[in-house]
Every structure is written in structure tokens, then in C-alpha cells.
Amino acid sequence: MKRLALCCLWWLLAAGGCAGTLQYKQDDCPFYDALEPIRANPAGAPERHLQVQVIFRVCPPQTGLEEIQRKRIELKHELLVLLSGKSAQDLEDPLRVEKLQQEILLLVNQKVLKKGRVVEVLITGFELQ
């Protein structure tokens, strides 16, 4: 164990990384945009409808994209749970999109992805009827 730690320390100093750690730029991470829009009824407002289109930037480039594609159903379920728990008042807040972006980022990284991670959430459609 001590030998591995010394090896990694040497590697960090000499080459800028530790064995087994892949280096990539966040800008190289792909966007996952294949998820269809999520439709939900806000909490306490069955006559209203919310539709949200979300795109995710996932890292590491290949591993993250493969994982989010594999977990598409789980991702959609978790997003539906989140959106249907929002009240109409939450969805009328002027900062609703920014707050929702942060909530989705935390949700996906904590409940859906294990090997990859979402580093950016883009909401490209938001419609409350």
C-alpha cells in the first residue's frame, strides 16, 4: 500500500497524474440529448402540466455517456418524481429554471450515476400550462 502511495506521489510530481486516473477536459465531455421531454403534473395542481426538456454534459467522456444511456429509464423516473413534487408556486418563481438546473444536477449525480457524473445541466425547454 505504501509502495502504491509513493508511486502515485511520484507520478503526480513527474507526470501530472496518478496511474489509473484518466485526464480529460470538461469541454471534451459529450452532451446527452436523447432524453425525450419530461411531462408532469405539479403537486396539488392536477389541471396543470409541466413539460421540461433537459440536456446533460457527462464526464468522463466515454464512460459517463455510456452510463447515462444505459440508465435512461431510471433517469426519466427520477426526473418525473422531482418535477411532480414541485408546486405551482415553485414553478412560478423567477429563478425556477436556475434552481431546477441545480436540483437536477444533484439528483442525477446522487441517485442515478455511479461511474460518471453530470457536470452541466441545460434546460432547453420549459413549459407550464
pLDDT in tens, 88-111: 888 889 999 999 999 999 999 999
Exposed/middle/buried for residue 112 (C-beta within 10 Å: 0-12, 13-18, 19+):
buried
Q: Is the pLDDT of residue 78 over 60?
A: yes
List domains and CATH numbers for the chain. 22-128 (3.30.479.30)
Collapsed DSSP state (helix, strand, coil) of residue 48 = coil
Mean per-residue pLDDT for 60-69? 95
Q: Is the pLDDT of residue 14 over 50?
A: no
Residue with cell 407550464: 128
What pLDDT does 89 receive?
85
pTM of the model: 0.79
What pLDDT does 91 receive?
86
